[in-house]
Amino acid sequence: MSRSRTLLVAAGLLVVTATGSAPAWSAPPPSGLASPGMLAAMQRDLGLTTAQARDRVAHETTAHRTAKAVRLALGDRQAGMWYDAATGALGVAVTDQSAADQARKVGARPTLVRYDQRHLDQAASAVAALVDRDKPSGVNGWGTDARDNAVVVTVNRTTAPAGLSAQLRGLDGAVRVVETDSSPQQQGGDVRGGDAWTPGTESNCSIGFAATDSTGGKHFLTAGHCTNDYTTSQAAYGKDGSQLGVSGASTNGSTGDYGRVDVTSANWNLSAVVNGYGNGDITVTGSGETVVGQSVCRSGQTTQWHCGTVTQLNYSVNYGSITVTGLTKSDACSEAGDSGGSWVSGTTAVGLHEGGTTNGCHVTTHEAYFEPVNEALTAYGLTLYTGGGSTPPPATGCSGYQSSYSGSLTSSTTTKYEPNGTYYESTASGTHKACLTGPASGADFDLYLQKWNSSTSTWDTVATSNGSTSSESVSYNGTAGYYVYKVVADSGTGSYTLAVTKP
């Protein structure tokens, strides 16, 4: 007999099964809330109260779903998106009223702007061509600012030649120059995100995220400038000084800054944990992208745990000898040695720390850059190592499960909870497995497994499967407790079947 049972009574209260998207539970409904440590760091670094931090994470989760809908509805007819912390909504730049109307229909707040995305891309290319041709000193970096509908170039006024700012502005009306006094620099047990590791005899870097290859081989992602001696099979040492493996691959230049370390020692195990440095560790449940204005937090061995917001996407940073493109820029702080470390949003892995300005964390204005983690995973053919130590299997059919549940998602009901609108109790440790099958085409459904955290009275996401179709699967090895499956329609509508096996 299964040692799991559907929970119908909790704390002496009868649970009422709801017909809508939010069940009337005696406990709060599951959500994408961040861990207590992440919420505490957001309060410290973003100047928020506890309630404001919780609300922000919830609003950002909704904004991500809206962003996906905007991309489907508008394609290249939008000139950038951003999360507006003041309103909790997703903003989108458009150049005509028709696109504005469509954006509004899917829940975004449109702003009519002068330049479309193609014009902004051309302006950014003009800046890149000037830097590549003339190699002027003082150009820190450049990228599109969606909110300002401009290509913003950051220039160090103390090293730039006279007339450079005017020359840049003259390239295109969409170019805006911001002057500063600093320049960027690349910041050089268990495999745990944010912990220190040492490439050979060089200075320390930080671990990003653990990952596996198609044969089960163990690896972790980090910054490419930390693994640039990979051709010599440079030794990689853990924070305790023992060798954990070798540098296996490096990309550091115009296509990005990311690297792979091959974990060859049997004494080192992979972990889905990111070091919170006393603020509560994070267990990553999946990977994803960011939007401008979104809150993000980073972990690294030098400055440890800090949070900020995304300020620009697809940003180019000029280090003099090389220009690294495709980065995400934020206003979080960092210092040398944080390179390669983890960037997360909630329990989602979003990036690998790449570099930042030289003034560190002791001043009030910061810049830090990270490489989108999905680019590195794709480039090396790796799968992120996620919570519970089990990588979700591919959704190749839903046979052999203990039980199944059916439902449907509509334009007005985009979220359902299973089993049957409530949650269940597992009285023993073991593996929770689920396989979701939705519409064959025209829909994108995602699947989340959440567990009740009694110390914080919140539902924490412990496993995620959020591919681009409506077929998803998760596998999570967890302890006893209360669990629920959350089925979300990122786009489209239709019926689904969720097959489940409980411990």
Bridge partners (DSSP) of residue 384 are 211
Q: For the segment 413-435, what is each residue's pLDDT rounded down to a tens digit?
A: 788 888 877 788 888 888 999 99
pLDDT classification of 255: cutoffs 50, 70, 90: confident
Residue 389 to residue 205: CA distance in whole angstroms: 24
Q: For the segment 47-56, what is each residue's pLDDT rounded down to a tens digit?
A: 888 888 888 8
Quote the percentage of the chain above a pLDDT of 70: 89
Q: Is the dihedral of CA 257, 262, 268, 270 positive or negative?
A: positive
Residue bearing tokens 């995100």: 193
8 Å CB contact between 164 and 136: yes
Residue 422 to residue 484: CA distance in whole angstroms: 7
Q: For the segment 269-291, what is each residue's pLDDT rounded down to a tens digit?
A: 888 889 888 877 888 888 888 99
Bridge partners (DSSP) of residue 488 are 415, 446
Q: Which of 69-78, 279-288, 366-375 has the lowest mean pLDDT?
A: 279-288
pLDDT at 235 over 70: yes
The active-site residue, picked from 145, 257, 262, 338, is 257
The answer to whether residue 64 is catalytic is: no
The active-site residue, picked from 225, 306, 353, 432, is 225
Q: Is the dihedral of CA 291, 210, 382, 336 positive or negative?
A: positive
Instruction: Give me 274's structure tokens.
Output: 């990111």
pLDDT at 117 over 60: yes
Instruction: Give me 118's structure tokens.
Output: 């193609």
**What's the pLDDT at 189?**
56
The answer to whether residue 247 is catalytic is: no
Q: By C-alpha distance, which of 77, 72, 156 is closest to 119? A: 77
Query: How many Cβ atoms are within 10 Å of 363's Cβ, its own excluded?
Result: 10
Alpha helices in 353-403 (DSSP H): 373-380
SS3 263: strand
The answer to whether residue 257 is catalytic is: yes
The active-site residue, picked from 4, 31, 316, 339, is 339
**How far, in Å, are 35, 87, 218, 384 from residue 282 at the CA level?**
7, 27, 20, 14
Query: How many Cβ atoms are within 10 Å of 219's Cβ, its own excluded?
Result: 24
Rounded mean pLDDT, 244-252: 92
Rounded mean pLDDT, 325-330: 92
Residue 196 to residue 301: CA distance in whole angstroms: 5
- pTM score, whole prediction: 0.64
Q: For the segment 91-106, what is each residue's pLDDT rounded down to a tens digit?
A: 999 999 999 999 999 8
**What's the pLDDT at 360?**
66
**What's the pLDDT at 309?**
93
